[in-house]
Amino acid sequence: MPSGRFAPSPTGRLHLGNLRTALLAWLFARSDGSPFWIRFEDLDTASVRPEHYQSQLEDLRLLGLDWDDDVIRQRDRRDLYESALATLYQAGLTYPCYCSRREIREATQAPNGPWSHGHYPGTCSQLTAEQRIRHESAGRTPSLRLRGSPQPIEFVDLLCGPTRGLVDDAVVQRFDGTPAYNLAVVVDDVAQEIELVVRADDLLDSTPRQLHIADVLGLPPPRYAHVPLVLAPSGDRLAKRDGAVTLADRMALGEDPVQVLSFLATTLGLAEAGERVSPGILIDRFPSATLPTEPLVLEPDRLDLG
């Protein structure tokens, strides 16, 4: 059966924007009677804070959201990603890249042509064996890049509409051997039979890259619904410095989880202001929701959740 998922990184407490995305992902899956998975994206071990595996699950549980066993951690699944990397390598689609971040930044100072700022300019794509040996003997450890797509990749996002993007030569394995996020997420979404990926739209730009990776691995891509971010009044994405942004913050103000859930539901057109709703009620009302297509601006310290 097609599944849905919420895939947070355990780097801190979930904020209202994360919880809103989780609620929407849960509604898409559960209103369809589908499994719903939690997957921790924790390959970047330097930023993981172990206590937040539990704090994030606890906040979802307090809101009344449920999920299927088992909760998945990407760091337990490296075999899967390494087998995908081996497939790409054996197909001759990857090459080692010796560039430092600074070299890439300097090479892309002046954006040119159709590329957005920060794309990889292909510096290492045609290195000779001698050049590689020279880099290796200088002590440089390469990352592994996947050759991009010569054609723009197009897809129709459920919330953002028709979208297209160019795909540069993306890192699929970092220089320390860690599989890259863009590879792992593709492998996991296919392995878990995710039919619709519901996630924040800061990942919209990465989606053509992920579709390309699925394509060269011969994997069926999911569909996507990118949820516009929740922003602070400054226009920046919501963050801890913006005030009472987490469920724990709101509860410290005397609000209860039902109020927070109900507030999130009002922002999706699923509840009236001041109404108290349960996840079950929201399932009955979904999908008559006004699905978000614009960012939601919040001033957390002025929110009165009723």
Q: 45 or 126: whose CB is closer to Zn ion?
A: 126
Two tokens at 196? Answer: 């619709």
> What residues contact 268, with CB distance under 8 A and at least 6 apart?
20, 23, 24, 289, 290, 291, 292
Residue 198 beta carbon to Zn ion: minimum distance, rounded to whole angstroms: 34
Cα separation of 254 and 261, whole Å? 14
Q: How many residues appear in the chain? A: 306
Residue whose C-alpha is closest to residue 213's, from 179, 175, 257:
179
Q: 29 or 144: whose CB is closer to Zn ion?
A: 144
Q: Phi first, then psi: what are they for 30, rounded to 5°?
A: -70, -30
Residue 98 beta carbon to Zn ion: minimum distance, rounded to whole angstroms: 6
Q: Phi first, then psi: what are they for 253, rounded to 5°?
A: -85, 0
Residue 28 beta carbon to Zn ion: minimum distance, rounded to whole angstroms: 39
Q: 39 or 145: whose CB is closer to Zn ion?
A: 145
User: HSE-up of 74 (CA within 13 Å, CB side)?
Assistant: 27
Q: 99 or 238: whose CB is closer to Zn ion?
A: 99
Residue 133 beta carbon to Zn ion: minimum distance, rounded to whole angstroms: 15
AA identity, residue 84: A
Return the ∠ at Cα 81 (arms to 79 and 87), rounded to 5°.
105
Cα separation of 202 and 277, whole Å? 29
At residue 157, the 3 state secondary structure works out as strand
Residues of the shown chain interacting with Zn ion in the complex, contacts defined by CB under 5 A: 97, 99, 123-124
Residue 120 beta carbon to Zn ion: minimum distance, rounded to whole angstroms: 7
Q: 124 or 184: whose CB is closer to Zn ion?
A: 124
Residue 99 beta carbon to Zn ion: minimum distance, rounded to whole angstroms: 3
Q: 123 or 266: whose CB is closer to Zn ion?
A: 123
